[in-house]
Amino acid sequence: MSQAPAVPVPHDPYAPLRLVNFRWFVTGILTMAMGAQIQGVVVAWQMYAITHDPLALGMVGLAEAAPFIAFALYAGHVADIRDRKRIALGALLILFLCAGTLAVTSRLFLARGQSGGWIRWTIYGVIVVCGAARSFLLPARNALGADLVPRPLFPSAVAWRTGIWQVAAVTGPAMGGLLYAWVGATSSYAIAAGLMAISLVTVARIRAPVRANVARAEPLVASVRAGLTFLFSRPIFLGAMTLDLLAVLFGGAVALLPIFAEEILHAGPQGLGALRAAPAVGAVLMSALLALRPPPRRAGRLFLSAVALFGVFMIAFALSRSLWLSLLLLAVSGAADMLSVYFRSTLMQVLVPSGMLGRVSAVNQIFIGSSNEIGAFESGVAAKLLGTVPSVVVGGVITVVVTLITAWRVPALARLDRLEEQQPG
């Protein structure tokens, strides 16, 4: 007797949002990311106003990246053996206190009217603490997100999660630039602290399911070695992470946007907020497309094309002298970057078992999460040595070349089709 043909199940793009815990989870991401983006714009503009030195902007990135990397492997180990929700709450509390400290420091700076040397080093110190807190937050939060959603919904959940983060990345920088112009640095930092407090409340409302097969508290070195062994046995995932790392490291120009806003495009702090938000506008549109449509076919080839296009768009941005053209180029670069983020994040959730997700996520954040900050430092050094525009052009060229090399050296990555069909373990 012949078997009836299988009836395809319609794609439900809103399925993850029907889960109350996931709604609290993404609300916490939205408010925390918005506060962090506001804080980042204000720190960048205030630092450049004090120093007028591109290297000082790069040092802000280094101040956050150094502790972020230093604690990452230990943070991933902790996320696999401890309560992930409590870890996230502790990190969010520290980030709230950091934003409050920046508000108080800025207020004292304005009241005393002294030189900016002491506030510069105070900002560096606060950013170091922020970097350490983020190092614990990201693996715990990423792993917690996987605990809240059934496996078949992973691709849609990743699209919604990253898309909502990008919404914050749109509104946060724009709000940061406008708030700095309207109410000054002190009140802007206070608003960022308020958003961090809201994130604390929303994460506290999550009722995470009891985790089965929680990793035993093995020694740190053995635990980290197990995570690294798993990662390096998956060349597709390793190749995707490495390529994304190098693209953000050399191809990005976020740290130099205050220079583009003031000296090249003559747009002021409001223009800086728009430039910071433009990549996220493109990313939000792309994430909406990814969330509302079924997972794409030929995902590996799409990923490689997106990274190469990111480099091309950044070269064009460096050469632009029109604010509107620059905003458009940053927006399409953000759309391309969103494709790579979606690919890598989904691949991590479908390939990595839940009990190892914290450790692998920690390694991933060393590759990717810190690359923004190290990239900021690299951008500052390159701009100091080569000039602002040439440094961004060279970074874009390097991104395209590295993409071609990756496609050649990791052919399995280019051949990858559907992400949801990959198996963990």
DSSP 55-70: HHHHHHHHHHHHHHHH
Structure-token pair, residue 295: 């997972």
Flag residues of the chain having pLDDT under 70: 1-11, 110-117, 210-218, 367-374, 419-425
Task: State residue 3's pLDDT score.
Answer: 47
Task: State residue 367's pLDDT score.
Answer: 66
**What superfamily in CATH does domain 16-208+218-421 come from?**
MFS general substrate transporter like domains (1.20.1250.20)
Please state, in angstroms and rounded to a whole number, the distance separating the CA atoms of residues 175 and 272.
Answer: 11
Task: State residue 379's pLDDT score.
Answer: 77
The three-state secondary structure class of 209 is: coil
CB 253 within 8 A of CB 44: no
First-to-last C-alpha distance (Å) of the chain: 37
Task: State residue 84's pLDDT score.
Answer: 92
Please state, in angstroms and rounded to a whole number, the distance separating the CA atoms of residues 305 and 416.
Answer: 13
Task: State residue 369's pLDDT score.
Answer: 58
Task: State residue 363's pLDDT score.
Answer: 76
